[in-house]
Amino acid sequence: MSTTTHPVPTAEAAVPTAAPRLLITGVLTKGSIAWEVARQAQEAGAEIVLTGFGRTRRMTERAAKSLPDPPEVLELDITSADDMDALAAELGRRWPSLDGVLHAVAFAPADAIGGDFLGAPLSSATTAFEISAYSLKTLSAAMLPLLEASPNGGSIVGLDFDATVAWPSYDWMGVAKAALESVARYLARDLGPRGVRVNLVAAGPLKTLAAGGIAGFDQLSDAWEQLAPLGWDVADAGPVASAVNFLLSPAARAITGEILHVDGGAHAMGAPLAR
């Protein structure tokens, strides 16, 4: 039984012939990591489409208007097969291929985070897993035909938070992030032969709308200042967005299955640093 693999593009083959086409999920406000990814991508010449969901879609549409070239926002409930199919069909009508996808979707019910790890019900843990981890698989599968058609190889990037240790209050979202890391590795295994890369960016704590709902976030962000040898600005999503855009680009054409830490170096330190 023989298998067909896609060779890693050479430097010459990886020179884009058209503006990159990107799908970006997870934009809620101008403070979202995904918004900064979109802004940097547009400034580099990319065409982008955003997704929004339900009542929060209005927030996404408002945030989209503050981008350099306000993009369209398409509906996507990440748990809906019908929405996923409709999104893939709409993108296929617009573009012959898709160069990159940002998965920036995560959610855990209130009783699954905040410090009562033992008290969280199975249903809440399952919800956190489905939305925050399993959805990387469903989004990747839906976009795969368009990503395979990318002349430079398609790229999928997800947003992560270091799941190798337990964090205060993060609870079942931390477990979901550990699952996300494993899902990404298996996707990298299966999609690599089809010319599609899958990577994660593990960001340090940032003061986004989502972070505001995590009890103990201030404790975590304060500790980061003592851990990160490069320092860390919880209000600046720029470094994380730059790493995401690198992984979405042909410059990362030989990278897959990677978790790139953009956290000021905190993940590599064993204890707080003397300042």
Q: Which helix (H) or strand (E) holds 83?
A: helix 81-94
Q: Which of 137, 177, 186, 207 is catalytic?
A: 177
- Amino acid (one-letter) located at 60: T
Token duo for residue 46: 């990319």
Q: Which of 30, 65, 134, 170 is catalytic?
A: 170
Q: Is 170 a catalytic residue?
A: yes
Buried b (16+ CB within 10 A) or exposed e, 82-114: ebbeebbeebeeebebbbbbbbbbbbbbeebbb
Backbone angles phi, psi at 91, to 5 degrees: -65, -35
Q: Are strands 259-262 and 47-52 parallel, antiparallel or unpaired?
A: unpaired
Residue 194: DSSP 8-state = G
Do 192 and 144 form a contact (C-beta atoms < 8 A)? no
**Nearest-angstrom CA–CA distance, 26 and 63:** 11
**Nearest-angstrom CA–CA distance, 242 and 233:** 15
What does R_g of the chain's alpha carbons equal in angstroms?
18
Q: Is 134 a catalytic residue?
A: no
Residue 17: DSSP 8-state = S
Do 210 and 159 form a contact (C-beta atoms < 8 A)? no
Residue listed under structure tokens 């395979």: 148
CA 1 to chain centre: 35
Give the catalytic positions in this structure: 170, 177
